[in-house]
Amino acid sequence: MSSILISEFITSQALETLRASHEVIYEPEIYKQRAELISALQHSDALIVRNLTQVNQELLNGAPKLKVVGRLGVGLENIELPACAQRNIKVIPATGANAESVAEYVIGTALALTRGFLPATDQTLGGTWPRPHFSGYHEFTGKTLGVVGFGSIGRVTAQKALGFGLKCLAYDPMLPGKSVDVGGTAVPLLTLDALLASSDAVTLHLPLLPETRGLFSAATLDKMKQGACLINTARGGIVDEKALAERLRSGRLGGAALDVFEKEPATDLSHFAGLGNLIATPHIAGVTSESNDRVSQMIADEVIQFLGNSK
């Protein structure tokens, strides 16, 4: 029987799955106490985390038996992959398990931004009855969605967008060819510049890497269509927040939905103050009751399988 430490929230069913075959220590707040976390890992074969537990060399030095790290999500910025590889520690992300939730967020926010639901709500509640102004907004159907990063989440997002009557374009430097089939529809693969010039809304689904950090700089944002919207559910460091705020304030861009920020928790977003064309949420795009169940169960099953095979 192997020992598994869980340092952040996991669903009760997945927890019971793990406890049925292994010794489990479930301490969902222990990531806040670094010394206690490292001490608890001394005899652990597996560690299951979300995005707040920093799995670095210091932690690995205190975990001599560790064989596998399960990540309850897809981003791996909090895990030092080279250090894990050096120790032959397997890292298992929950690839694809939250794709539905993220895709719903993208479509929902793109629709809200295109139709101006948020500022219309504020003005209506303020007693101004702004019907003439908002009658000039546009239908969502028929617009073009540019998907930057065309992995599992990007493709599910495109599938939902196509079902909504949108046109889809994609950019992904890792993919060969001129198009990708999504549910029987060929989604063109373009250069980033070509995608930005043609898209009414752009959604980001990229990992945060040295090549993608700051990718959406002032210069890149200025390549987007006049009045286009930007949606970022990937990682905050990809977008220059202050440059984006300037373009939202000037009207150069029509709106933005940000679920991720350069620093999280985001406690100072004063550069976005007063913007009615911004949706800001606390990293919840991929987190729903249903996706929590899928993510937790996937990692529980895969960690159990790995431990079984590593004996």
Residue of 235, 241, 247, 294 with catalytic role: 235
Non-local CB neighbours of 137 within 8 Å, separated by 6+ positions: 114, 115, 116
Residue of 29, 264, 271, 290 with catalytic role: 264
283 catalytic residue (yes or no): yes
Q: Which residues are catalytic?
A: 235, 264, 283
